[in-house]
């Protein structure tokens, strides 16, 4: 995957985002749990899962030198509205530490991440991304947003660790979601 030439600043605090977004971007709990608490039912539609190209940004976060990893992309819908596009990236060398990654199916990965006591979460960061950012472009490729939309979307990401091996989880809040 070719990186967009857009540089986005990711923040560990909500200072750069409207206050209404702070609980959605920086809550240490499960986003899945938050969405279920707000909307009730939550559905997960896998967009794709398997070996795929990853961005330079993802490689840097994972300290990964390979240009491919295991990637899972899904769409979360709640209350009849498509609300989140999620992209999870697992280095090829980390696969044995994360067997649940390959068995999650149509269940939300977030629900599983918070049930294993061996999993630890790193810092949450959030950003406002525009239509030239690669994460937005992945959502365009999945048919979730139009590339011509002039608005910005809020995204968050964090690393999870299991048995010393990383898993990167990135979530893009789609236009249908209102904090």
Report the sign of the C-alpha dihedral through residues 29, 82, 72, 170, in that order.
Answer: negative
Tell me what pLDDT residue 6 has: 52
The three-state secondary structure class of 82 is strand
Tell me what pLDDT residue 151 has: 78
* Annotated domain spans of the chain: 14-173
Tell me what pLDDT residue 3 has: 47
Q: What is the mean pLDDT of residues 45-71?
A: 94
Q: Which two tokens stand for residue 88?
A: 């999870």
pTM given for the model: 0.91
Tell me what pLDDT residue 9 has: 73
- Among 122, 116, 111, 107, residue whose Cα is nearest residue 168: 122
Q: Does the domain spanning 14-173 belong to CATH 3.30.1510.10? A: no
pLDDT per position as a tens digit, 86-119: 999 999 999 999 999 999 989 999 888 999 999 9
> Do the beta carbons of residue 116 and residue 131 sit within 8 Å?
no
């Amino acid at each position: 995957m070719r990186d967009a030439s857009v540089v986005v600043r990711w923040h560990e605090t909500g200072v750069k985002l409207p206050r209404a977004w702070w609980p959605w971007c920086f809550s240490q709990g499960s986003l899945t749990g938050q969405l279920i608490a707000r909307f009730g039912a939550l559905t997960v539609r896998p967009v794709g899962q398997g070996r795929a190209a990853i961005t330079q940004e993802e490689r840097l976060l994972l300290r990964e030198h390979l240009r491919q990893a295991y990637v899972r992309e899904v769409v979360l819908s709640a209350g009849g509205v498509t609300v989140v596009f999620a992209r999870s990236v697992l280095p090829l060398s980390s696969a044995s530490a994360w067997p649940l990654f390959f068995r999650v199916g149509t269940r939300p990965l977030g629900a599983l991440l918070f049930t294993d006591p061996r999993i630890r979460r790193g810092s949450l960061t959030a950003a406002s991304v525009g239509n030239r950012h690669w994460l937005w472009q992945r959502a365009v490729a999945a048919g979730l947003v139009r590339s011509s939309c002039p608005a910005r979307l809020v995204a968050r990401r964090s690393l999870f660790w299991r048995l010393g091996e990383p898993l990167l989880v990135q979530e893009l809040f789609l236009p249908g979601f209102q904090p």
